[in-house]
Structure 1
Amino acid sequence: MESKSHLTKNYIFRKSTAIVLVLILMTSLLAACSKGDSGSDSDNRVLRVGFLYSSADNEQYLRQQYTDSFELLNPDIEIQIVSAMNYDDQRYEEYDPKKKQPDPYESLKELLTGKNPVDVLMIDLGNMKRLVKDNMLKQLEPYIQDSEFDIQDIVPTVLEGIKDAGEGSLYGLAPTFSSSALFYNKAVFTEAGVPFPTDGMEWNELFTLAKRVTKGEGKERKFGLTFSRYGGDPYYDTQNYAAPLRLKVWDDKGEKMTVDTAQWAKVWKDVLPLYKEKIIPGQQDMNIDDGAMMEKRAFNPFQGDMFLSGRVAMTIGGYDYITELSRAKSAAEKNKNITPVDWDVVTVPTFPEEPNVGGNIYMNNLMTINAKAANSDDAWKFIEFNNSKEWAKLKSRSTYEMVSRISFLKPKDGADYNIKAFYTLKPVPPSDTDNERLYRDKPNIWDVNQYGSQLFMEVIDGKKSVEEALKEWQTKGDALLQKMKEDPQASIHTLNGGGVAGEIYK
């Protein structure tokens, strides 16, 4: 039996301990109350994250996509989302052609240099390139080295594309990217006895394959190729085809045409036979059933999608197209009247002048640090988290884009296809021409492109040679650009008095 003195000591010890715990609890509660009363927390830090466009409607999406998880793991950091331009400012405002439209790039610079600048700026590759030239962003290499952040697992061509736009240095990281590849229908090639396309092909090789698998007439014709899954306009197909060559329609100031050249002539001559020989379907081929709209015909859930309908052997499609192809396969398992496409992908063909560039790779969520960031350490912490393997593992299951971590780039839903085709090529470097500004300052400069489209159709119809069409485009495009220099609101339709419109449409 314990002695009375020992029991007394235990009682005193337990009572003292209880008093200490109560005091600690009361201190915590008082601190919490004090913090709540003041509405501030001296330990909390603010991280301002800027976007080019936002609004009250889509801020929730931006938080779900990029900031909620980070704030959950970093409760001492408060994220403030800031936008350079608000969608609602234009949504509820009637368009006035005489009113000068805001310059998005100048608005971005204001985010970086204003009274309360952002710490992180999320932008596209083109704007990053311009901001780097203006010395407004921080290089990320020092942060990567200090934190021993692993970039070896990031898609090499993504990193190379970012460095190309950053004059050889890394000024941003992109957690995801979008890309395209060449989809092909295995059955069409097998039936024609033609070998499948392969990675690393050049465009002339692809065009030869497309010609070999083209056959049939009318509704039964199988076409070799489309530049997009829904077909397109012949003129804009030439623009997309030539994108890696970085040819320009006009100079950087939008005052002089640059199309009467041997390079543009070759581009037109490359694409021209594909339309003349109906290797690529024209609009009349895609709408071949329009005349029978009132007649009863078989249900076709793939109407308008020539590849899914089995009428095109090859098409260029984005990574998100895989979801549509998977849906079609699932539907075919339930409906015997639906025939799914047995497909695979290879890299988009390239030019010998630009052997590793293509695939329509876009990075619209590049995360960069303001050169004048007030909280650059947390800015890097934010970028590090959103570009981590942990983030990529989570988002690889839920995003329509591709994550930039190779470890988590795997075919969807257990499918078997050549996923490397989507990330083998480098993105086309951003243009030095600020076309967005030109379209804003000269809203009718679009007329120049429209005239080029008209001339290309005349070449297809045999009314003009390629050289004649390009020379005419150069001459009359120059005339219209000069008129726009004098009057930014000038257009083909408003120049009748000056004679330019009449000349263009003669």
Structure 2
Amino acid sequence: MDGGRRENMELKSIPRGRLAGAALTAALALPVALSACSKQADKPEQEVLRIPFGSEQTFQYSYGNYFAVKFPDVRVEIIPTEGLYGPGKNYYEEFEKLIREQKPDLLITYTSDYKRWASKGLLLDLEPFVRKSKFDLDSFTPAAIEQLKANDEGKLFGLAPQLTSSALYYNKDLFDKYGVPYPTNQMSWDDTMRLARRFPVDPDPGKRIYGIHEKYSTPFDFVSDIAGTVGASHISPDAKWITLESDVWKKAFDQVVSGFKSGNLYYYYKDGKRVNYGPEETKQMDLFSSGKAAMMISSTEQMFRMKQWGETKLNWDIVTVPVDPANPEYTRYFNVSPIYAIAANAEHPQTAWKVVQYFNSEEAAKVSQKTEDVLSTRTAFAKTKDGLSLMPFYMLKVKPLDISPVAFPPSAFFQQFETIVIREIDEAVKGRKSVEETIRAIQTDAQVVLDRAWLEQDAQKK
């Protein structure tokens, strides 16, 4: 699904490139221009701020205009991180070494890195800065602050201005036409799939309405979304074992494969071959926007796509994503990013705090709301967009278990694993294998691939 399934372990560039244009400059420059005359006579000495980032070029693309306008007296020194990943390298170990040895000030990171650095004592507690600056944490959505404090010490080691979250989109006209009751907040996947099955399967695929569709994803992604909602993972926490042989996974495979076989779910992996998405394929696979799917799960990206493609007449609404009935207040689809933190050994912590404070300010939130399709962590912006309530994106919070440190398999594993699951699910959809046989084949073949990937990675370190 969109929204990201695995966080990017390499911090190359946060997608703020669109902010480099005239809209950003105009939005930021006015308050600075009004006070410029009083500051020109006695220009202060430049402050230094050291920031680990992919490269100088990617930093300028993502943040150059911000710093030029808001922090003209700060001299940014980029510590390149492009060389921290690659064959035989452990990204986390390399980044930790960078922090300890090169003493950066500001860290712009994501959840997986943030929780690791916090657990290792590499980040400063921001609450003393918050109190001294009288920075209002109550203006942030509680779920965001809760996630940022989900560490062994329960401290606030970072702040995040934006969040990613998904919702269940549904086409009201299709539900009305076929007499199907609308989805509701905090439904289970069983309830959701039951609604999906109530849409009749037209013999003509060109006229067919699909009950629920996941665009830009593999069939296994769909299975994983269902199983993952109740806490199942296809790989162990130490990333050494495949863990598909359970009742939870069997039920999830059954629901998806039976939907593909009946035609109630759209199956687009023909003969086990991967689909490569160009501009035309991307639009074709958005069955919800074209009125061919009754439901779909997506982030605010779907709102942007419907505008982009001129689908303004679609009568749609949103509710929360499906949840685990045993934990209905939690979701896997909520995450804050980017996270701005200060290194514990920073030589310029006050300068770093000024930057952290600005990027998490109401002023910066107003700019991003005008120039980006993002969700703000500030409650003042968590109300409506284009007349539609955004509350389903904010109603749930991430499970504490979902933000605890986990290991990642070697990179060589992922593509081979995807090939295996696409091939085996295709066998099940075509009736050549039962669901049980499919799961067993994936379990066996994927374990072989995982073992080999670890052996190869260990050999490269020697």
Tell me whether 1:209 sits opposite 2:195 in the alignment.
Answer: yes
Aligned AA (1:427): V
Equivalent residue pairs, number: 409
- Does 2:426 match 1:439? no
Q: Is 2:249 the partner of 1:264? A: yes
Q: Specify which of 207, 225, 239 is matched with residue 240 of structure 1.
A: 225
Query: 1:82 maps to which residue?
Result: 79
Distance 1:210 1:479 in 2: 36
Q: CA deviation at 1:387?
A: 0.8
- Number of the residue aligned with 1:159: 145
Q: How far, CA to CA, are the matches of 1:300 and 1:130 in structure 2?
A: 38
Choose the corresponding residue for 2:265, options 280, 286, 296: 280
Question: Residues 453-472 of structure 1: matches in 2 within 5 Å?
Answer: 453-472=422-441
Distance change (3 Å), C-alpha of 1:263 and 1:118: same
| Structure-2 change in CA distance of 1:419 and 1:55 (3 Å) | same
Give the corresponding residue for 2:51. 49
**1:179/1:360 contact within 8 Å kept:** yes
Q: 1:328 to 1:56 in 2, by over 3 A?
A: closer
Answer yes or no: is the 8 Å Cα contact 1:359–1:425 preserved in 2.
no
CA RMSD in angstroms comes to 3.2
Mapped partners of 2:315, 2:87: distance in 1: 52
Query: Is contact 1:250–1:257 with CA below 8 Å preserved after alignment?
Result: yes
Q: CA deviation at 1:221?
A: 1.0
Distance 1:246 1:119, change over 3 A: farther
- Name the CA shift for 1:123/1:48 in 2 (closer, same or farther; >3 Å): same
CA contact (8 A) 2:410 2:457 kept: no
Structure 2 match to 1:473: 442
Distance 1:160 1:57 in 2: 31
Distance in 1, Cα, partners of 2:315 & 2:379: 26
Structure 1 pair 169/269, CA: closer, same or farther in 2 (3 Å)? farther
Contact kept, 8 Å, 2:56 with 2:78, in 1: the verdict is: no
**1:297-340 deviations in whole A, cap 9, x for unaligned?**
xx9995432111111011112212212223445x76xxxxxxx3
* Alignment of structure 1 residues 187-226 onto 2, 5 Å: 187-218=173-204, 219-226=206-213
In the alignment, residue 464 of structure 1 is paired with which amino acid? K
Distance 2:297 2:447 in 1: 33
Letter paired with 1:139: D
CA distance in 1, matches of 2:458, 2:365: 47
Could you tell me which residue of structure 1 aligns to residue 358 of structure 2?
385
User: Equivalents in 1 of 2:404, 2:436: separation in Å?
Assistant: 26
Q: Please state how far the C-alpha of 1:169 moved relative to its aligned partner.
A: 2.7
Q: Is the 8 A contact 1:180 1:359 kept in 2?
A: no
CA shift, 1:223, in A, is 0.8
CA contact (8 A) 1:410 1:419 kept: yes
Q: Is 1:114 matched up with 2:111?
A: no
Instruction: Please give the alpha-carbon distance, in whole angstroms, between the structure 2 residues aligned to 1:269 and 1:185.
Output: 25
Contact residue 128 and residue 165 of structure 1 kept, 8 A: no
TM-score, normalising length: structure 1: 0.72
Cα pair distance change 1:150/1:107, threshold 3 Å? same
CA shift for structure 1 position 158: 1.7
Tell me if structure 1 keeps the 8 A contact 2:167–2:393. yes
Structure 1 residue aligned with 2:331? 358
Q: Which has the larger radius of gyration?
A: 1
Where structure 1 has 5 or more consecutive residues not aligned to the other structure, the ranges are 1-27, 36-40, 91-98, 286-298, 333-339, 491-506
Counterpart residue type for residue 256 of structure 1 = W
Alpha-carbon offset, residue 105 of structure 1: 1.9
Q: Does 1:321 align with 2:294?
A: no
In the alignment, what sits opposite 2:92?
A: 105
- Where structure 2 has 5 or more consecutive residues not aligned to the other structure, the ranges are 1-38, 271-279
Q: Which one-letter code corresponds to 2:296 in the other structure?
A: T
1:426 matched to 2:397? The reply is yes
Correspondence 1:405 to 2:378: yes
Shift of 1:484: 4.2
Shift of 1:348: 0.9
Q: CA, structure 1 residues 283+366, in 2 after alignment: closer, same or farther (shift >3 Å)?
A: same
Q: Give the secondary-structure state (helix, strand or coil) at the position aligned to 1:114.
A: helix
In the superposition, relative to structure 1, how do residues 302 and 102 fare at CA in structure 2: closer, same or farther (>3 Å)?
closer
Secondary structure at the aligned position of 1:135 is classed as coil
Taking the aligned partners of 2:56 and 2:237, their CA distance within structure 1 comes to: 32
Query: What is the Cα deviation at residue 276 of structure 1?
Result: 2.5
**Counterpart for residue 29 of structure 2:** none
Aligned runs of 1:58-77 on 2, under 5 Å? 58-64=59-65, 66-72=66-72, 75=73, 77=74
Q: CA deviation at 1:170?
A: 1.9
- Give the structure-2-normalised TM-score: 0.79
Q: Any idea what SS the aligned residue of 1:472 has?
A: helix
- CA separation in 1, counterparts of 2:134 and 2:325? 38
- Which of 108, 113, 117 is residue 131 of structure 1 equivalent to? 117
Higher relative contact order (CA 8 A, sep 6+): 2
Please tell me the residue identity of whatever aligns with 1:56: Q
Give, in whole Å, the separation in 1 of the partners of 2:382 and 2:418.
38
Query: In the alignment, is the contact (CA less than 8 A) between 2:269 and 2:422 conserved in 1?
Result: no
Q: Does 1:143 align with 2:129?
A: yes
**Percentage of identical aligned residues:** 26
Q: Distance in 2 between matches of 1:464 and 1:301?
A: 30
SS in 2 for 1:213: coil
CA distance in 1, matches of 2:233, 2:283: 36
| 1:392 to partner: Cα distance | 1.2
Task: Determine if contact 1:177/1:363 at 8 Å carries over to the other structure.
Answer: yes
Structure 1 residue 168, shift from structure 2 partner: 3.1
399 and 451 in structure 1: CA distance in 2 versus 1, 3 angstrom threshold: same
1:453 match: secondary structure: helix
